Structure 1
Amino acid sequence: PDLEVDWLAQDPVTRLLEASGERIHPLSARLASESRHIELESGEHDLNAFQAIRRMDEVLIANFMTFQDVVDEGGYDLIIADEAWDIDHYWHEHPELKKAKLAWFTDFVGWVPMPANGEHEAFLTTDYNAEMIEHVERHPGVRDRAIFVGSPEDIVPLSFGKDLPAMRDWVPKHFDFAGYIIGEHPSTFGIRAELRHRLGYRPDERVCIVTVGGSGVGTHLIKRILQSYPTVRARLPELRMILVAGPRIDPASLNAPAGAELRAFVPNLDQHLAACDLAVVQGGLTTCMELTAAGTPFLYFPLQNHFEQNFHVAHRLDRYGAGRRMEFATSTPDMIADAMIGALRTPTRFQPVEAGGAARAARMLADLL
């Protein structure tokens, strides 16, 4: 009951936190923008996530120093680090800087080379994985709890690289499994028809939501989908398309055709994803799992060269039998239109997503307090 939580976060996450009434630490304003770096690294629906992180040392060290100032001055009992690579790396490099217990969260473990990028990238990812393994095994006390957001079956059946262990052998020895953690499980949203009514959707319309996350990387995907909209609308006049561009894409820059609706930000987007008839998204895990839990048909377009979306996320979605994977580079507007109509006409048979992951993780955190 006496728990106090401060968030050290940056835009666009802070917008969601503010909308939820959460307390944001004032030094959040000092954080260098990771979203801006990612946008500068991206191409046309293309982001080499591994190389982008390799090249963001300046951002990571600056943000780590801000974090360390917060910890040194704040007297915190517990740090919850959600894939905060900077904290994990530098505290393993300098364990003497650790001033509070650390709970490390991630939904994937292991850098994976993209096959098209050759032996050099394979060498580099192996080196990064070897360093991570050495950190954890040399300083096991840095992470007071390492929590994998998922189950052992969600670990990709790959190795960490040449002469390194298999991921499915190493990860269970060093992580606890919370199961998937979803903000609010769609089972709590009530009857779908009533949810649609509360959100303002008519019974006689088919609703398609397009969302591309919080950065500006999804601009090219949105434009391609907008090109497909007239074709889909001609074949399905009852279709209503709503595009959630995110806070870093100017809706006015998209030249949307008549009838397509544009939003910059939707606070309760998970409810809209549960209520809609179809979604078209990038390959990010959170949105895809919200759709999977809701049983909503969806198309997903992993970013080219994004190892997490192409390996870790795709493996998990395959396990749930969820979503139809699309390749942006080869998908014409007509092909996207055909896929959208096909998804609307095909019943989903996704495996259920458990609802107890958040409570299980909370119990793990409570043990540290």
Structure 2
Amino acid sequence: MSASVSVFASPNSWIESGAVDQCHQVAALDGMLHVAGMPDLHPGKGAPIGAAMRSTVLYPFLVGSDIGCGIAVFPIALKRPAPEKLVARFPDLDVPLEPDPDDPAWAFAAGPDGTVPAGHTEGLGTVGRGNHFVELARVQSIVDSPHALRLGLDTGAHVLIVHSGSRGLGERILRAHTEVHGAGPAEDPAAYLAAHDDAVRWGSLNRRLLAARAALALGADPAEPIIDQCHNLVEVRDGAYLHRKGAAPGDGRDVLIAGTRGTPSYVVAAHAGAQAGHSVAHGAGRKMSRADALRRGRAKHTVEELRRTPVGSYVVCGDRQLLFEEAPTAYKRIEQVIADLVAHDLATPVAVTVPVVTYKTADRGRRR
């Protein structure tokens, strides 16, 4: 007998039938108790993205290869933040950072002990590809003033938003499992969870490194994050395994729900219950596959249009294919995702941010 499935989206939301089908396929797995689909739900490789899945059995493939992927928000104080000048000052975040106590970004992010989870130094301080990014954003408006004040957010202030994960570490952990067990359950849940927890800590460290590198390059002091929530992970909760794939913890947490390079993002106070897997959406969610976005985008947009967005922000991206794959039109409307969360009483908006400069990958051949 299949587990129950709930999708927290309105009839106005763009939810592909393939994503709902994947939820029901997961619900039929041995030990599955409940599957909750978020309003950013979309199909993934073998399992839905934008879902929280509760089971008595631990399935590594439900978390995927980018264990520890999440979004963090860091305050940043800038003098005269002219966007066209800040574009040129963004560092090359494709070049890995070596652990070095004399490097100010490393010293700030790694702390006094300077340890790297799992000893995995490959890719430290780099963004990765896909939908990962580092963004300088401006607080456009405040929705809940007392809550925003507690977070230190005010209209006109700037923040760094970092979306990245565990780079090659999570992939290595999943591959070690799938080479033996495929999509089957973890034979030794404790061993998997130990490796998994290292990847979660690595992802958080990497977001701190990225923010520190960006802040220093932009002439600001690095700051501690006011939000740092992982959305690819599994936790043991109430005697079961709660898998999250593209779903942020929503049990009394503050979460940044990312829009696109050309639309706002939302800071929300999440208060999701058990039926929603104690989770909320992690972003706008894809509306098109990467292949469709590339094909349609080339017919509809120019590269220059995608480098300067409708909200006036800049996009740093030397990979033209990635520019089209990550075009704002490839994603659902973030406003609808937020409206669905509010309608289902899963979250309350606190503040709205808009992009100023978004870094995807270095643009070394372009004079800025």
Same fold at TM > 0.5:
no
Which TM-score band (shorter chain)?
A: under 0.3
User: Please, what TM-score do these two structures have when normalized by structure 2?
Assistant: 0.25
Q: 1 or 2 for the larger relative contact order (CA 8 Å, sep ≥6)?
A: 2
Which structure has the larger Rg?
Answer: 1
Larger strand proportion of the pair: 2
